[in-house]
């Protein structure tokens, strides 16, 4: 890796997704194995051609040495093998780690694979333990909040500071569903309106159930290598142009500002590496675990002024036919959200769009994509800019 960062030196040459939504016939490890094999095959390779594996552990089937367990299942011994867990931001942080491993000579070609089965392999009680265990053990957990309550706190802060309304948040869900209605694999495809969101079941004031991401099974994987190894593959390579991270805090009680996130830092770093600006981005794939999170990322990544995210969404700019398409697979609000692997599907959708293989929802002009994810409660952010040309 050059001192200036990715600089187009690395390419994504293979990708795969499992079925998503409700997939009870395969465990999280089996899903991870499946997408690993499928992504390698999509790249026109075999496991003998791949010498690195990076995975993320599963909530529904935690394994002490997760990457090694996946490799063991495959009868494969990659020389670089590691499990990463940085919450929802794991996807892009793992990709950057893969690029660093290749640059350091630890591997030549790496698979990044993630899967989980929150819908089929976790009981409601287990899910509630996960939902309530992310808070600070002394200053948050004793008061009983779950993850939706933390994002409701963020929503209320944005409403207070900028005059954002519940209808503004609802526009995020409506936009994602409009795209999901065009995707044959999406978990939820029926179109919804702002009123549908506002009238859906209350979860944590002001958030309704349609403001919250889905609970899903699913897995996805990608194959990364140096650009000189990306030639003569079955698909045109997608290049990694820029990357950045931002880390603000671990627990929300320690946040200095609830309405501005470390996406400001991660986005700025990614733009600088890629030599691009928000106006140069054709496609946005952002982490929509809850509607206020999506709105804040839009602002912090520079697509509108601070406080204008609600009006930006309400304008229709992110919907089919709009000039800044957002989460064209439907996002975690409508496509699927199997936990930490959720951002993988934004990545595979970006690759699909840049390859020109998105079918009914294919964008006419797309040469750049910004993928962004965050872990914790808007805590740890990672931004990745992709392009058809390096």
Hey, which residues are catalytic here? 287, 335
Structure tokens at 149: 């309550």
What DSSP element (H or E) covers 243?
A: strand 238-247
* Alpha carbons within 13 A on the beta-carbon side of 161: 16
Whether residue 261 contacts residue 246, with contact meaning beta carbons closer than 8 Å, is answered with: yes
- b/e sequence 112-131, b meaning 16+ C-beta within 10 Å: bbbbbbbbbbbeeeebeeee
Question: How is the chain split among helix, strand and coil, in percent rounded to 5?
Answer: 40, 20, 40
Distances (CA, A) of 186 to 7, 15, 281, 290: 33, 18, 24, 17
- Look up residue 21 and give its DSSP letter: B
What are the tokens at 340? 């930490």
């Amino acid at each position: 890796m050059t001192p200036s960062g990715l600089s187009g030196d690395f390419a994504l040459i293979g990708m795969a997704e499992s079925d998503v939504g409700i997939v009870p016939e395969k465990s999280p490890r089996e899903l991870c194995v499946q997408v690993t094999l499928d992504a390698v095959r999509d790249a026109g390779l075999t496991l003998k051609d791949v010498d690195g594996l990076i995975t993320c552990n599963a909530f529904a089937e935690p394994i002490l040495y997760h990457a090694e367990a996946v490799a063991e299942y495959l009868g494969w011994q990659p020389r670089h093998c590691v499990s990463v867990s940085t919450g929802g931001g794991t996807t892009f942080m793992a990709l950057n780690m893969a690029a660093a491993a290749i640059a350091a000579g630890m591997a030549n070609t790496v698979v990044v694979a993630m899967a989980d089965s929150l819908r089929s392999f976790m009981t409601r009680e287990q899910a509630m333990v996960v939902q309530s265990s992310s808070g600070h053990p002394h200053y948050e957990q004793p008061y009983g909040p779950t993850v939706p309550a933390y994002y409701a706190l963020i929503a209320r802060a944005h409403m207070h500071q900028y005059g954002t309304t519940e209808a503004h948040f609802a526009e995020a869900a409506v936009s994602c569903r409009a795209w999901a209605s065009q995707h044959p694999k999406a978990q939820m495809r029926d179109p919804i309106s702002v009123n549908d969101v506002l009238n859906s079941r209350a979860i944590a004031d002001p958030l309704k159930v349609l403001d919250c991401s889905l609970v899903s099974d699913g897995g996805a994987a990608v194959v990364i290598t140096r650009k000189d190894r990306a030639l003569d593959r079955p698909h045109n390579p997608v290049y990694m142009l820029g990357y950045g991270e931002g880390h603000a805090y671990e627990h929300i009680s320690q946040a200095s500002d609830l309405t501005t996130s470390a996406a400001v830092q991660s986005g700025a770093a990614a733009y600088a590496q890629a030599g691009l600006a928000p106006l140069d981005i054709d496609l946005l794939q952002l982490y929509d675990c809850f509607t206020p999170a999506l709105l804040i990322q839009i602002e912090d990544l520079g697509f509108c002024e601070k406080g204008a995210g609600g009006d930006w969404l309400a304008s229709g700019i992110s919907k089919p036919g709009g000039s800044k398409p957002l989460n064209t697979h439907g996002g975690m609000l409508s496509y699927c959200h199997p936990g930490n692997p959720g951002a993988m599907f934004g990545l595979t959708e970006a690759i699909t769009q840049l390859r020109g293989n998105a079918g009914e929802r294919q964008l006419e002009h797309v040469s750049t994509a910004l993928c962004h994810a965050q872990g914790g409660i808007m805590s740890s952010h990672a931004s990745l800019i992709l392009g058809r040309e390096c």
